[in-house]
Amino acid sequence: MPGIGTPMLEFSGVELSVAGVRALDGVTFQVRPAELFAIVGPDGSGKTSVIDVASGARRPHRGGVVFLGRDVLTRGPDEIAAMGMARIPAEEGLFGNLTVLDNLALGRLRHFRYGVLSAILWLGRARSREPAVHARAEDTIDLLGLAAWREHPVRLLPYGVRRRVELGRALATEPRMLLLDDPTAGLNREETDDLARFVQRVRDELGVAVVLADHDIGPLTGLADRVLALDSGRRVALGTPSQVRRDPRVLRAYLAEAGRRGGGRSN
């Protein structure tokens, strides 16, 4: 397990309401350097809300959030990203007609002073930077096992491979922390196992802290150093995957969700 050290990310009593519903209710936790930290819970438990607040997409009504020792509640998403936080959303955001290599190269945009259109067309300063940018992209291709797909348009790739490309594009920004929202959605078991292996490699070889939100403790979240379980916006457990999986409060939360789903089907 990563050393205790100074926490990279701290939530202190965070409260958030969305459309009149309490999404987060006094949530407190810390993420350590180079830690793989998972957030799990039933639907509507507040997992994505934590990711939204951490990345600056939503501002809580109460509480504090600190990243790398700096308050992030007064900063927008772009400024937080520039501090070293990269978010991989649940929905896909790749350029389908571009190759894997070009999609990864585009992830370097925030390091240079040119726009997206210039980068896509490789004009002006973008073209002069191309060798160095592509060299970095090649390193990411090797790290994530994407060599066989390097020159393929992303739109032609299997969905599991496209999720890996999204991971690689986020790494191109040289983040200190990665936020993954529902990373296994739409993946089969083999694709999930592949993604788990590469996320663990990112943490182990690059020292990047990873915070991921998923529905339950599966192949990916089971690799976490620690797991935070939420229910109805409240923290119900925090510990190792095995500890959280056995916690009776967590079991009750999932049983309650199963009951709600069952009731919904019978109506």
Residues 56 and 5: their CA atoms lie apart, in Å, by 24
Residue % of the chain over a pLDDT of 70: 84
Q: Look at 266 and 50; give whichever has higher pLDDT.
A: 50
Domain of 255 in residue numbering reads as 1-84+176-267
Residues 6 and 78 in one domain: yes
Question: Averaged over 223-228, what is the pLDDT?
Answer: 96
Would you say 93 and 48 are in contact if contact means Cβ atoms under 8 Å apart?
A: no
Residue % of the chain over a pLDDT of 90: 64
Question: Averaged over 45-69, what is the pLDDT?
Answer: 96
Residues 47 and 128 in one domain: no
Q: Which helix (H) or strand (E) holds 23?
A: strand 21-31
- Provide the mean pLDDT of the chain: 86
Residues 102 and 76 in one domain: no
Question: Averaged over 174-180, what is the pLDDT?
Answer: 95
Residues 147 and 68 in one domain: no
What's the whole-model pTM score? 0.87
Would you say 45 and 230 are in contact if contact means Cβ atoms under 8 Å apart?
A: yes
Q: Which of 25, 29, 23 is nearest to 225 (CA)?
A: 29
Residues 207 and 106 in one domain: no
Residues 79 and 166: their CA atoms lie apart, in Å, by 20
Residues 98 and 209 in one domain: no
Residue ending a domain, among 137, 158, 174, is: 174
pLDDT at 132 over 70: no
pLDDT score for 70: 95
Residues 101 and 131 in one domain: yes
Residues 194 and 71 in one domain: yes
pLDDT score for 3: 52
Residues 167 and 243 in one domain: no
Residues 198 and 238 in one domain: yes
Residues 74 and 203 in one domain: yes
Amino acid at 251: L
pLDDT at 2 over 50: yes
Residues 13 and 27: their CA atoms lie apart, in Å, by 5
Mean pLDDT lowest for which of 136-140, 191-195, 240-244?
136-140
Question: Averaged over 158-171, what is the pLDDT?
Answer: 93
Counted domains in the chain: 2
- pLDDT tens sequence across 92-103: 678 888 899 888
Residue ending a domain, among 174, 201, 224, is: 174
Residue ending a domain, among 114, 148, 174, is: 174
Residues 60 and 182 in one domain: yes
- The CATH number for 56's domain is 3.40.50.300
